[in-house]
Amino acid sequence: PKVFFQSLMIDTPTSPVTSGLPLFFVITVTAIKQGYEDWLRHKADNEVNGAPVFVVRSGSLVQTRSKNIRVGDIVRVAKDETFPADLVLLSSDRADGTCHITTASLDGETNLKTHYSVAETSVCQSVSRLEALQAVVECQQPEADLYRPLGPENLLLRGARLKNTKEIFGVAVYTGMESKMALNYKCKSQKRSAVEKSMNTFLIIYLGILLFEAVLSTILKYAWQAENKWDEPFYNQKTEQEKNSSPILKFISDFLAFLVLYNFIIPISLYVTVEMQKFLGSFFIGWDLDLYHEETDQKAQVNTSDLNEELGQVEYVFTDKTGTLTENEMHFRECSINGTKYREANGKLVPEGMTDDSPDGSTPHLIGDELLFLKAVSLCHTVQISYDQPDCLVGGGDPFSHANGFSSNYMEYYASSPDEKALVEAKGLRTLVVACRHFSPKEYIDVDRRLNMARTALQQREEKLQEAFSYIERDLQLLGATGVEDKLQDKVQETIEALRLAGIKVWVLTGDKHETAVSVSLSCGHFHRTMNILELLQQRSDNECAEQLGRLEDHVIQHGLVVDGASLSLALREHEKLFMEVCKNCSAVLCCRMAPLQKAKVVRLIKTSPEKPITLAIGDGANDVSMIQEAHVGIGIMGKEGRQAVRNSDYAIARFKFLAKLLLVHGHFYYIRIATLVQYFFYKNVCFITPQFLYQFFCLFSQQTLYDSVYLTLYNICFTSLPILVYSLFEQLVHPHVLQNKPGLYRDISRNAMLSFRTFLYWTLLGFCHAFVFFFGSYILMGEDTTLMGNGQMFGNWTFGTLVFTVMVITVTLKLALETHFWTWMNHFVTWGSIAFYFIFSLFYGGIIWPFLHTQDMYFVFVQLLSSGSAWFAIIIIVITCLFPDVVKKVFYRHLQPTSTQKSQVTWGGGAGRKNLCMKCVVECVSESLIFNLYVSSSYPLYVFSCCRCTPTVWR
């Protein structure tokens, strides 16, 4: 707005369109891009908030939207529907008043949980009886804890899904932002990448350069005019108004005029190019076949393209366990009955050391201990059987009417515990101890009364339940134990190891108990078997916590640390700095028994530490949303049912293993592309405007422009825009396979290495040097040319400016060509096409008298310029003079001080080195890499005589 306002001044050296058009273009493109992404998020929110629901009103079921539900509304939910609010279960269509739900979207748990209707309302199964119901619900104030239900498993949380039950009725007690799911969200803030922050810092520096040049030019103008011979030259006599005007106002006017003249040093169009690069570049993630999960038909998803380059800067990964590292699918492995180990063989239990030789259909003989063990496993569970295809049943729907009982192909097991489901289906090992105790009828009535009182208590419910369980679980007879495997997701261990080699620390944050969490950490490679594991568990006071932290501080190098939620709260209250020192020096950290908001606090703790590391959080459930929103980059895992994490994430992937390529390949590419883009833009704008500043020394600071206004407008929009945009979309320093096979290369770009102040200063000084060569080289080589104008006179202002502009366009375009490692046909087209377009446009623009232009300054100028042999000589000499030292520097450093990335380029030949691949490997590389390269790359030859990926091969 300031630039546009200045352009409207009467004495502006450039037209308002020249300065205002790029600014208007920037604002328009940015608004469209941001608006499109906001619309996508708004659309996703409306799918949830606008979902149709049925409520009981005026004696009938009335359809309304989820967002219109109020506390006290009685809501009907059908099978497979999501609960629109936190509901107290009033009644169910099941005879026992129960219903089954899955909370996959909340905590990633795919197993079924059984909930019970309130005893007083369980018979109200019709709309008319519910309408006539008069009742009061006593409950706590809204709180974030997902694991403190209202009564005896009466509360159905928003986001959970009804399963294996036809329909239920529930009364809304917490709605909207008071629901437990909403209370576990943090206010979503606008995330900005480290590159964007650096870019803003550099803009401030360039604003300082702009102000310095404007002030210096204004001062020098008045210093020059102090000499009478330069004050009023014969060709520019002052008017009476100018002579009588205030010196202060005239100084301000001149200062503002110089600001307008030099304002192009601020690369406004940089924002347009960055927005386009991020938006278009984000499609590559969705197109990558390596990030596609065939089993679930899910591809990677980008919700926020503003953070693409941040994927290449991650230093800490915070991951959930259940559903993220594990499949949350339990498989029966073995059990122990009365000291004898049994394993599964052909669907039967077989003692260790024996094989199953019995014919199919035979029933093994069971002795007393074995029979009692199997009875306990068969009876003490909450497993339900669902027949989703009733047509498969015969004999009037009797599931046992088949000759061999019933077919498992047509039924599905649901259980409140995945361990139970695995045992009934008997398909790190989890150990479950099986024991029994015999109750008399009188003892059973007493036990039932104690449990019911504890479950319905509004005060100290957890303590009362613990007392009841302690009373029941005594004098038990041990029957045996089971071993159940919680299956890890594919390639989790390899992914964690790759992240560790890349210099990324992995923290596991889970709500699971200590033993289970440690077991999974060991099995997935987060903790090594030989690693000494330190513990900060069950701390009860600040002093005790401080003492334990002090002991741990001296023994943390290359060790693992386990912390529980209670101890973490104490550590963060008074000993945050000491706790941080312990954690940062550990190889791996595991936080168990974590509440959702505690996960976010841990992320914030690291994120706001003095080093300001870039953090990434990944999870699949609603309990992970807070940490996903808190981290610099949030990634949602597309679980079997849950979508809360995906909706609130910046990126979404189907499996944890895809994280490695997302960071090590896509993150690496995005970062180097945009880092070069930003610095190149500053470089080419310094090259552009510095000759304008130097020219003022030759025109007595009269604010005369060196370039024609059309060139001023089109330099960033047309002549130099496409090569850097295409570069920022397709550049690859090294092959994707190298980045995946050598995770250590990720460290070369960590801590914003390619956009440091040192590299920024290099590009800026290079721009100033090239600008000096453009200006003075043109002046020296062409200043005394007598053939240029054809009449023995020196060439004029516009011809000189056009020569400088021509050299500049060619040099900055070729400079980018020198930075390009991976050439596609698109790079060739826009690089050489941009130079050709400039020449064609200039010939066309200067070859016609335009009736709508006030002046015809450029008429026939470009034709006369190109008709001079010395002009061509000057162009060639100046371009070589600018670029040759840069080429020598690159060769010198590559051979004497090569980086790890440059060494890998030598090994694999870099991007262009794909020419050393045989056609078979080319097909494999393309299928394993970005599929878009299949269409844009022309780097693959038809005849290759040696392949650097497989054995040397001749292809003809």
Spell out the alpha helix ranges (H) of 742-868: 757-782, 797-819, 825-846, 861-866
**What is the C-alpha separation between 103 and 843, in angstroms, rounded?**
69
Check residue 387 and give its pLDDT: 59
Q: Has 708 been labeled as part of a binding site?
A: no
Query: Binding residue per annotation — 306?
Result: no
Contact 914, 949 (CB under 8 A): no
User: Residue 415's pLDDT is what?
Assistant: 63
Question: Phi/psi class of residue 159: alpha, beta or left (left: φ > 0; alpha: ψ in -120 to 50)?
Answer: left
Rounded Cα distance between 725 and 760, Å, is 19
User: CB–CB of 325/319 below 8 Å?
Assistant: yes
Q: What pLDDT is stored for residue 460 in this prediction? A: 81
The radius of gyration of the chain from alpha carbons, rounded to an integer in Å, stands at 36
Please spell the DSSP secondary structure of 124-159, one letter per residue: --SHHHHHT-------PPP-S-TT--SSSS-EE-TT
| CA distances from residue 785 to 108, 434, 717, 803 in whole angstroms, order as listed | 78, 101, 32, 13
Place of tokens 């498969």: 392
- Contact between 118 and 90 (Cβ < 8 Å): yes
Separation of alpha carbons 419 and 331, rounded Å: 8
443: left (phi over 0), alpha (psi -120 to 50) or beta: alpha
Residue 955: per-residue pLDDT: 30
What amino acid occupies position 2? K
Q: Determine the pLDDT at residue 929.
A: 39
Please tell me which residue in 107, 254, 290, 320 is annotated as part of the active site.
320
Asked if 694 contacts 775 with a C-beta cutoff of 8 angstroms, the reply is yes
For the stretch 494-520, pLDDT in tens is 999 999 999 999 999 988 878 878 888
* Tally of residues, the chain: 956
Closest to 599 in 3D by CA, of 566, 565, 551: 565
Is 511 annotated as a binding-site member?
yes
**pLDDT, position 397:** 41
The answer to whether the annotation marks 450 as part of a ligand binding site is no
What pLDDT does 944 receive? 33
The rounded Cα 120 to chain-centroid distance in angstroms is 49
What whole-number distance in Å separates Cα of residue 96 and Cα of residue 114? 11
Nearest-angstrom CA–CA distance, 383 and 380: 9
336 and 481 in contact (C-beta within 8 Å)?
A: yes
593 labelled ligand-binding: yes
Annotation-wise, does 79 bind a ligand?
A: no
Closest by CA to 715, choosing from 834, 843, 817, 862, is: 834
- Of 624, 647, 101, 163, whose CA–CA distance to 386 is shortest? 163
Name residues of the chain where pLDDT drops below 50. 1-10, 152, 361-363, 389-408, 428, 785-794, 909-916, 925-949, 951-956
Q: Is 593 left (phi over 0), alpha (psi -120 to 50) or beta?
A: left
Nearest to 4 by CA among 29, 23, 26, 28: 23
User: Where in 151-276 does DSSP place strands (E)?
Assistant: 155-156, 161-163, 167-174
- Report d(CA 372, CA 367) in Å as an integer: 9
The dihedrals phi and psi of 250, each to the nearest 5 degrees, come to -65, -40
Question: CA geometry: angle at 866 spanning 862 and 868, to 5°?
Answer: 125
Q: How far apart are the first and last CA of the chain?
A: 62
Backbone angles phi, psi at 817, to 5 degrees: -60, -35
What does 614-628 look like in DSSP terms, one character per residue?
-EEEEESSGGGHHHH
Do 769 and 946 meet the contact criterion of CB atoms below 8 Å apart? no
The pLDDT score that the predictor gives to residue 184 is 66
pLDDT at 291: 94
**pLDDT at position 262:** 92
CA 927 to chain centre: 24
Could you tell me whether strands 316-319 and 615-619 are parallel, antiparallel, or unpaired per DSSP bridges?
parallel
Could you tell me which of 31, 32, 29, 9 has the C-alpha nearest to residue 19? 9
Dihedral of alpha carbons 683, 685, 689, 691, sign = positive
Three-state secondary structure call for residue 376: helix
Query: pLDDT at position 149, please?
Result: 52
pLDDT at 395: 38
The answer to whether the annotation marks 510 as part of a ligand binding site is: yes
In order, the DSSP letters of 23-40 are HHHHHHHHHHHHHHHHHH
The reply to whether 320 sits in an annotated binding site is yes
Identify whether 650 is a catalytic site residue: no
321 known ligand binder:
yes
3-state secondary structure 634-675: EEEECCCCCCHHHHCCCEEECCCCHHHHHHHHHHHHHHHHHH
Sign of CA dihedral 60, 63, 69, 75: positive
**Domains with residue ranges and CATH for the chain:** 52-184 (2.70.150.10), 280-325+488-663 (3.40.50.1000), 334-352+369-387+410-485 (no CATH)
Which three-class secondary structure state does DSSP give residue 776? Answer: helix
pLDDT at 145: 66
Q: How far is CA 766 from the centre of its chain?
A: 34
Q: Are 261 and 703 in contact (CB under 8 A)?
A: yes
- Predicted model pTM: 0.77
The alpha carbon of 252 is separated from its chain's Cα centroid by a whole number of angstroms, namely 47
